[in-house]
């Protein structure tokens, strides 16, 4: 596996960590893999290491190429710089699709908390929209978005039928980004007819990442860890499952439409 870090903006400390798995050889039937672009949380003040590389590992195990974007934060994070960083990262993935053995039409974005806000903006408004989005305890509500960084867009207000299919997870008693953030975005998706899946777990503090004990010292229902395999299974349905013969077709939803979309 190739592991390297690409500097996207040295002045602002923006980097893209790349975990690239081979194709061909023992993977003779696989010519390209799906990919995930991970956006850590941190209130737009920092990028959490707990929600960065550790999140990449289970998706690598599922066969995905994985990338972690450490976007502009703190004094360097005035909007729209974080979104510009996302656009640059997606452009890098597309430009290097052949070298990094990925299918540019099968890139999902994963965002946590403030990174979930950025991922939701990407899913609704970005030039390079992902094929799917996974949002963990995201910042959606205007009052919380303004608290992180005044002047940012409110993603739920920009949901349309062209919004990327979305998987959401949260805990009922999150006291930092309250569960109404996820409920508001899910409601907007439902109103626009966008495919989505949402999981609200019974209890757990904010920022639990994958739910692994070493990443989350606070009380958390063990079932919250299931968001990882559940989201991978959902991506299989939405984008098509990676098999020994390559990426399969997306499964049909109940209304007969495929769940995936081609990035804009």
pTM of the entire structure?
A: 0.95
Confirm if 66 and 36 have CB atoms less than 8 A apart: yes
Note the pLDDT of residue 1.
78
Note the pLDDT of residue 252.
58
pLDDT in tens, the chain (264 residues): 788 999 999 999 999 999 999 998 999 999 999 999 999 999 999 999 999 999 999 999 999 999 999 999 999 999 999 999 999 999 999 999 999 999 999 999 999 999 999 999 999 999 999 999 999 999 999 999 999 988 999 999 999 999 999 999 999 999 999 999 999 999 999 999 999 999 999 999 999 999 998 998 889 999 999 999 999 999 999 999 999 999 999 985 545 455 445 555
Note the pLDDT of residue 50.
96
Confirm if 225 and 211 have CB atoms less than 8 A apart: yes
């Amino acid at each position: 596996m190739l592991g390297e870090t690409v500097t996207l903006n040295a002045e602002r400390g923006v980097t893209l960590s790349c975990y690239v798995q081979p194709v061909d050889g023992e993977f003779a039937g696989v010519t390209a893999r799906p990919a995930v672009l991970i956006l850590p949380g941190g209130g737009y003040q920092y990028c959490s290491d707990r929600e960065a590389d550790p999140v990449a590992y289970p998706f690598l195990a599922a066969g995905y190429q994985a990338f972690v974007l450490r976007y502009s934060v703190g004094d360097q994070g005035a909007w729209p710089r974080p979104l510009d960083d996302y656009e640059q990262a997606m452009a890098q993935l597309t430009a290097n699709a052949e070298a990094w053995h990925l299918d540019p039409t099968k890139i999902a974005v994963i965002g946590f908390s403030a990174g979930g806000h950025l991922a939701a903006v990407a899913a609704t408004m970005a030039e390079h929209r992902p094929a799917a989005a996974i949002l963990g305890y995201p910042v959606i509500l205007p009052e919380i978005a303004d608290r992180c960084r005044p002047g940012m867009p409110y993603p739920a207000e920009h949901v349309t039928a062209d919004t990327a299919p979305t998987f959401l997870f949260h805990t009922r008693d999150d006291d930092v980004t309250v569960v109404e953030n996820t409920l508001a975005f899910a409601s907007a998706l439902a109103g626009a007819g966008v495919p989505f899946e949402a999981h609200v777990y019974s209890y757990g503090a904010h920022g639990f990442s994958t739910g692994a004990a070493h990443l989350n010292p606070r009380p958390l229902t063990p079932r919250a860890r299931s968001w990882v395999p559940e989201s991978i299974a959902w991506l299989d349905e939405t984008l098509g499952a990676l098999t020994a013969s390559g990426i399969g077709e997306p499964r049909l939803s109940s209304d007969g439409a495929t769940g995936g979309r081609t990035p804009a």
